[in-house]
Chain A
Amino acid sequence: MEAAAGGGCGSGPPLLLSEGEQQCYSELFARCAGAAAGGPGSGPPEAARAAPGAATAAAGPVADLFRASQLPAETLHQITELCGAKRVGYFGPTQFYVALKLIAAAQSGLPVRIESIQCELPLPRFMMSKTDGEIRFGNPAELHGTKMQIPYLITEKNTFKRMDDEDKQETQSPTMSPLASPPSSPPHYQRVPLSHGYSKLRSSTEQMHPAPYDARQPLVQPEGASTGGPGAKPPRHQTSLIRSFSVEREPQDNNSNYPDEPWRITEEQREYYVNQFRSLQPDPSSFISGSVAKNFFTKSKLSIPELSYIWELSDADCDGALTLPEFCAAFHLIVARKNGYPLPEGLPPTLQPEYLQAAFPKPKWECALFDSYSESMPANQQPRDLNRMEKLSIKDMADFPVPIQDVTGDDKQALKNTVDEVLPKDMSEDPATKSGLLPPPPALPPRPCPSQPEQASEAELHPQLNRAPSQAAESSPTKKDLPYSQPPSKPIRRKFRPENQATENQEPSTTVGGPASVAAAKPHPTVQKQSSKQKKAIQTAIRKNKEANAVLARLNSELQQQLKEVHQERIALENQLEQLRPVTVL
Chain B
Amino acid sequence: MAVCVAVIAKENYPLYIRSVPTENELKFHYMVHTSLDVVDEKISAMGKALVDQRELYLGLLYPTEDYKVYGYVTNSRVKFVMVVDSSNTALRDNEIRSMFRKLHSSYTDVMCNPFYNPGDCIQSRAFDSMVTSMMIQVC
B-binding residues in A (CB < 8 A): 290-291, 293-294, 304-305, 307-309, 311-312, 315, 318-320, 345, 578, 581-582, 585-586
How far, in Å, is B113 (CB) from chain A's closest CB? 5
Contact mask for chain B residues 93-117; partner A; CB cutoff 8 A; 1 contact, 0 none? 0000000000000001101111110
Q: Are B115 and A304 in contact (CB under 8 A)?
A: yes
A-binding residues in B (CB < 8 A): 40, 43-44, 46, 48-51, 77, 108-109, 111-116, 123-126
Report chain A residues within 8 Å CB of B111: 320
Chain A residue at minimum C-beta to C-beta distance from B116: A308
Q: List 27 A-B residue pairs with CB atoms under 8 Å apart, sorted by A's residue number.
A: A290-B114, A291-B114, A294-B114, A294-B115, A304-B115, A307-B115, A308-B115, A308-B124, A309-B124, A309-B125, A311-B114, A311-B115, A312-B124, A315-B112, A318-B108, A318-B109, A320-B112, A320-B113, A345-B125, A578-B50, A581-B50, A582-B49, A585-B43, A585-B44, A585-B48, A586-B40, A586-B77
CA distance A304 to B113 in the complex (A): 11
- Pair count A-B, CB < 8 A: 50
Chain A residue at minimum C-beta to C-beta distance from B48: A582
Chain A residue at minimum C-beta to C-beta distance from B123: A305
16 additional contacts (CB under 8 A) given A305-B123, A320-B114: A290-B114, A291-B114, A294-B114, A304-B115, A308-B115, A308-B123, A308-B124, A309-B125, A311-B113, A312-B109, A312-B124, A345-B125, A581-B51, A582-B49, A582-B50, A586-B40
Chain B residue at minimum C-beta to C-beta distance from A306: B115
Report chain A residues within 8 Å CB of B113: 290, 308, 311-312, 315, 320
How far, in Å, is B104 (CB) from chain A's closest CB? 13
How far, in Å, is B76 (CB) from chain A's closest CB? 11
Report chain B residues within 8 Å CB of A311: 113-115
Leading 6 A-B pairs by shortest Cβ distance: A290-B114, A320-B112, A308-B115, A294-B114, A318-B109, A582-B48
Report chain B residues within 8 Å CB of A312: 109, 113, 124-126
Report chain A residues within 8 Å CB of B125: 309, 312, 345
How far, in Å, is B132 (CB) from chain A's closest CB? 14
CA distance A582 to B47 in the complex (A): 9
Report chain A residues within 8 Å CB of B108: 318
CA distance A294 to B114 in the complex (A): 6
CA distance A290 to B49 in the complex (A): 33
CA distance A305 to B121 in the complex (A): 11
Q: Are B43 and A586 in contact (CB under 8 A)?
A: yes
CA distance A578 to B124 in the complex (A): 32
CA distance A559 to B50 in the complex (A): 35
Report chain B residues within 8 Å CB of A586: 40, 43-44, 77
Report chain B residues within 8 Å CB of A294: 114-115
CA distance A105 to B127 in the complex (A): 42
How far, in Å, is A443 (CB) from chain B's closest CB? 25
Report chain B residues within 8 Å CB of A318: 108-109, 112
Report chain B residues within 8 Å CB of A291: 114
How far, in Å, is B127 (CB) from chain A's closest CB? 9
How far, in Å, is B137 (CB) from chain A's closest CB? 20
How far, in Å, is B107 (CB) from chain A's closest CB? 11
CA distance A353 to B112 in the complex (A): 18
Report chain A residues within 8 Å CB of B115: 294, 304, 307-308, 311
A319/B112 contact (C-beta < 8 A), A582-B48, A585-B48, A586-B43 known: yes
How far, in Å, is B22 (CB) from chain A's closest CB? 26
How far, in Å, is B125 (CB) from chain A's closest CB? 6
CA distance A319 to B49 in the complex (A): 30
Chain B residue at minimum C-beta to C-beta distance from A578: B50
Chain A residue at minimum C-beta to C-beta distance from B127: A312
How far, in Å, is A327 (CB) from chain B's closest CB? 13
CA distance A576 to B50 in the complex (A): 13
Chain A residue at minimum C-beta to C-beta distance from B49: A582
CA distance A315 to B126 in the complex (A): 12
